[in-house]
Each structure stands twice: as C-alpha cells, then as structure tokens.
Structure 1
Amino acid sequence: MTTDSRLIPAAVIGGLLAVGLIGAGALIGQGVVNARAGDRSVTVRGLAEKDVKADLAVLPIRFTASGEVLSEVQARIDGDLVIVRQFLKAQGYPDASVDLGPLGVADTRSREYASQTGGPRFILNQTVVVRTNDVDRVQTTTRNLNDLVRQGVVLQDFQGPSYIFTRLNDVRPAMIAEATAAARTGAVQFAKDSGAPLGPIKSAGQGSFEILPRDGSG
C-alpha cells in the first residue's frame, strides 16, 4: 500500500487525495495471565494501523437554475447538463462512469413555501454523479470545476468527492497478525510486571476495523 496520497474524503474544491487510515483492534486472549487460582486471566487488546490509498471515488456535481417561467428554467438546466457532460468528457471520464441523478423542482409560490416572498418562482437543480476507480483524476477534476462556473453553470452545495477503500480483505490478515503480536507483547509485559506466568490463549476475537480520513476531514 502506498502512503503517497492524500485523503478520504476531500470536502473542498482544493481536493485532498484519497488516503485512509485503517485501525484494527484485535481482542485476544493472548494476554492470558494465570494467577494462583489458575482460572484467573486478564484480557489485552492489540492495535494495528495502516495507511492505504482509496481505490474508488464518487464525485457529485449539483447545479441549479431559477426563474419565473418553468419552461425557460428547464431549458437552462438542460443546457447546463450538456456543458457538464462535455466538461467531464474532456476530463477523460467514459460515459459509463457518469450517472444522471434526479431533477429537483421547487415552486416557491406553492403552499409549502407560501410564507416566502420575493425571489424567483421556480428553482430547479440537477445532479450528475461520477463514480470511478481513477481517484487521481477526480482530484484534478475538482481543481478544474471553475471551468464550469466560467461557462455559467451555477454549482450548488458542492462538498467535494468521497473517497472509498474497498480492498479491506487484502490487508486484513496482516493487520490481524500485527494486532495479535501487539497484544501478546502487552500480555508478556503484564505478566512480567505482576510476577505471574503467561498461560495459553483462553479466548480470542478478531475485534473491529475502522477506516478513517488520515487528517480528520470529512
């Protein structure tokens, strides 16, 4: 696994690349210390951590248009959709990586918004979702989103891409072994400090795995 990267996930246009911190806690009976009664034991935990690079990125691009005439607002959204698709194609994404989300429509003069005054009547928003294993390309794309703004596309609620690590099973065995060794080291030290002999394992559990953004963002 490479530690080259950047982070899971990036929530700013500046884009932080996909790197996660995996923590595996193993709950093991490696630290069983027999006391005088023979049945007494203590339980120790082992911890393993590993930096991994994400292998999947999901980039939602949401844009909006508003106005008084619904058909005109719809036409602008359709035009912006063409611009967004062309932008993503120029960024190197195949059509299969780009999905079209639902179209949102709000009428500010409907009963739900009756208390609101002023502003345009119709507000439409459309979402396009990029899903790809090319996480490096996604970071480049987030830096280039200003190109859409320059072409008149109004981006809405942009929170950046999500970076995901899907190959946990590839690193699981080695991390469990590392956590087990750490637990045994703790058990040995405990037995040494207490003056009790270290007995065999009485029970063991894999514990849990947690994938976190390395620098705590998102």
Structure 2
Amino acid sequence: MTTVARPALSTPLLLGALVLAVGVAGAGALIGTGFARMRTADRTVSVKGVAEREAKADLAIWPLRLVATDDDLGRANAALERNVQQVRAFLRESGLDSTASEITVQEFRVEDARTVGGYANTARYIIRQTLVVRSADVDKVQAASQRVPELVRNGVVLSSGQEYGGGGPTFVFTGLNALKPAMIAEATARAREGAEQFARDAKSGLSGIRTASQGVFEILPRDQAAGITEESQVRKRVRVVTTVVYGLDD
C-alpha cells in the first residue's frame, strides 16, 4: 500500500490563514459592538406635558323662542307680534341694542292643529318665531338671561326646542389661536422637566427629542360638575397635552 504524503503548508500560507482568522474574529467583535450601541441608542423615555389656561367667552348666542296660540289666526299673529315687541324692549333695557349686538328674527312657522297630530285640547293655530341675539357683550347677555321670568310675568310665552340647544345662551370662546403658541411651549417645557427627572433617576442624560406630538386642544367648563356644560359657562378652561419622546444617553 502506497502512502501519499500531503504537502506541508508553507510559511507564507500559514501566516495568511492566521491573518484571515484574526480578521474574521475582529469583524465579529465589531459587529457585536455595533448592535450593542444600536440597542443602547434605542433607549428612550416618553413623557407628557400639560398646559392649561382660564379663558373668558367673547361671543354669546341666545335664542328666544316665542309661541302664540288662538283659534283665530289673526289674533294669534297679533299676540305673537306683541310678544316680539316686548322682547325687543326687554333687550333694549338690558343694553343689548348696541353695535356689539345683533338681533335677528328666524323660524317663523304657523301650524294648524287640525292637520297636525299631537295637539289635542289646544287652540287651532300655533305660531312660532325665534329671536336670536348674537352679542360680544357676554356679561350683559348672561345678566339678561337671569331676568327671563320678567318676560313670563308680562305675558310672553317662551317655548323650548332643540334647534339651538337647551334654550339658554351659548357662550363661545373664539380666541384659541392666540393662546396656542404659548400653551404649546409651556406643555413642551413641562414634558422636558418630566424627562429630565426620569433621566436623573435612571442615572442617565437626555440625547434630544426623537418624536413629538402636539395633541388636541380642549375647551372645557371651568367648573366641572354633573349637568354643567362648557357652552353654558362664560368662564372656560383651555387644555392641551403634548407627548414627547426623548433619547437617553448611556
């Protein structure tokens, strides 16, 4: 049996193999270090910042729904006209006839109880009309709305309905855009304070903002309680929440 001898590796080839092995091992070490840094770079903290302001409504919309009934259409219409004049006089006495206020007549409607169901034991003709007060004098509107019983005592018949809500004035705040820049800045600052506290507790530091979300501005009633709506209050609370994601240093 003949034995074939394998040629021994020459010194240059042996050195080349050793260099290649060392290079592969080094590359593996670098790749491992790279993944570790990537995982470290993904360390983040998500925080929320809140800003609130108290705001006063600058617009009031007040519908006054009038109704008159009679078996004679002419008498019903005359009664309604008297009610309209009384309401207009009431609004003048309340200071709501200035240039800051606008009074419009809407929704004039005549119903014949003989042709419409649901009016048993009532007069034949029912006439409805709505006077809508739109005013920047919100304090005067609020004060006048507290005196509505005076109209009732003077014979004015007021009706409720759903066309404009619950029947009282609606108070609107239109100055939200003027508050937005300062409130966003405040909410962002509050978020950073929370992130810095978290970083201190974690023995770390902040490496900058990764993502940020402004959130939605909300107009809420200043006094939150059952049955109180934002639209019914002159004083309101404006609120915004921002969400900011910060990176954490090693």
Same fold, judged at TM 0.5 (above): yes
What residue ranges of structure 2 are gaps of 5+ in the alignment? 1-36, 161-165, 230-250
- The C-alpha deviation readout for 1:165-216, integer Å capped at 9, x for no partner, is 1111222111111101111112122223344432201122322111111113
Q: Measure the CA separation in 2 of the matches of 1:184 and 1:50.
A: 19
Shift of 1:36: 4.5
Stretches (4+) displaced over 6 A: none
Whose helix fraction is larger, Structure 1's or Structure 2's?
Answer: 2
1:121-132 matches, cutoff 5 A: 121-132=124-135
Partner of 1:81: 84
- The C-alpha deviation readout for 1:59-117, integer Å capped at 9, x for no partner, is 1111211122222211211111111111112222227511111113322221x41x653
1:140-159 matches, cutoff 5 A: 140-157=143-160, 159=167
Q: Measure the CA separation in 1 of the matches of 2:181 and 2:134.
A: 28
Question: AA paired with 1:103?
Answer: F
TM-score of the pair, normalised by structure 1: 0.75
1:24-173 matches, cutoff 5 A: 36-94=39-97, 97-110=102-115, 112-113=116-117, 117-157=120-160, 159-173=167-181
Structure 2 residue aligned with 1:175, among 158, 171, 183?
Answer: 183
Structure with the larger RCO, 1 or 2 (CA within 8 Å, 6+ apart): 1
TM-score of the pair, normalised by structure 2: 0.66
Q: Measure the CA separation in 1 of the matches of 2:42 and 2:193.
A: 21
What residue ranges of structure 1 are gaps of 5+ in the alignment? 1-33
Partner of 2:9: none
> Structure 1 208/81 Cα, relative in aligned 2: closer, same or farther at 3 Å?
same
Which entry has the higher C-alpha Rg, 1 or 2?
A: 2
Asked if the contact 1:68–1:120 (Cα under 8 Å) also holds between the matched residues in 2, the reply is yes
Asked if the contact 1:191–1:197 (Cα under 8 Å) also holds between the matched residues in 2, the reply is yes
Q: Measure the CA separation in 2 of the matches of 1:211 and 1:144.
A: 28
Between the aligned residues of both structures, percent identity stands at 44
Q: Measure the CA separation in 1 of the matches of 2:65 and 2:119.
A: 24
Shift of 1:44: 1.8
- The C-alpha deviation readout for 1:17-49, integer Å capped at 9, x for no partner, is xxxxxxxxxxxxxxxxx9953124232221111
> Structure 1 191/39 Cα, relative in aligned 2: closer, same or farther at 3 Å?
same
Asked if the contact 1:35–1:196 (Cα under 8 Å) also holds between the matched residues in 2, the reply is no
